[in-house]
Structure 1
């Protein structure tokens, strides 16, 4: 049981004993008598609340929470950010220029056809300037080539399929290539608006390839050399 207080009175019934080091505990009849002690306790609590130590304790958890929040937001942005639609269109490939190694190679023994569908051995027309006009009739450059061709050099125009395109001027041998063997030899498809030419000497060797037939000055010397 409890010990008597300083007045020799025992503890109240039902209340625990108070520590002896507290000394005599006096409960005033008026609570205002404890105002000074309450004010002192409030000042001590405010000083404890204003101490920098609690702030230092709270800074680390707040930083961890902020980093986690930023990481989550970055992940959400990476997933939901609108992306440019992937193009399904295939890039248009530009026809490659015939390889340089084509020069010096032998012209294949190809049989073309004339307007009457009669076979014509291409090597039987050498030396020749062979102009492929399946991408463009290009009458201007064909006419210029005929005018510059030396005697003994045949100017041949070749179209695809079996339809022979009438030549723009007299002196042109117009043929068609139903099997596409000449285009296969060049290794490139026809290009709209472009005529391609080969210069072949009498031995059947390709001396020059003109991927895009242009002004006569660009190949005049090579054309003249075919007559040698």
Structure 2
């Protein structure tokens, strides 16, 4: 396997590059126009919700704060950007911002697990324009996915009632191994009783939950000759 595949795992050292290209091209433009350090306020909210879908459960703030605390452009990240040759016309102030900058803004957010309705902000970032712009992509990715899972889990609990046992088994269909951990956390926080993801359960301090796969029945059937005997 190509070693480059191993580099597709995000780490704090390359967090700053985990953004959309246009966030950086806009930052270059802001730098050239003298706007980069102007104060800005970005809010994350849903304009409307589907019929019968009355609320969202906010989730993902912990990962947002971790990202912002570690946000900076390493020399390696800057070199990688320069090698793209996309920013050859960018002003020198652009490179200075990235080389010297870190997140210096403020974050206002509802606590994780809070029910949110249409046009109510889950989160607001007050920061210099260039910072608020670049971090937007990561914040949307983190908040949107975990809020989706938490909202689904809460609605399942609403329908099933307090006495039902509800478990999260989504690891094999999550977007990525990292997403599976975030999904397990969001589901449990929003009301599910446990997760089949062993690593997530260990990290969250709870007992992993599970049953068995049909492979066990098939294997015993192959030996015993009878599915009835396998059961």
Which of the two has higher C-alpha Rg? 1
> TM-score, normalization: structure 2?
0.18
Bigger fraction of residues in strand: 1
Q: Which has the higher contact order (CA 8 A, sep 6+)?
A: 2
Bigger fraction of residues in helix: 2
> TM-score, normalization: structure 1?
0.18
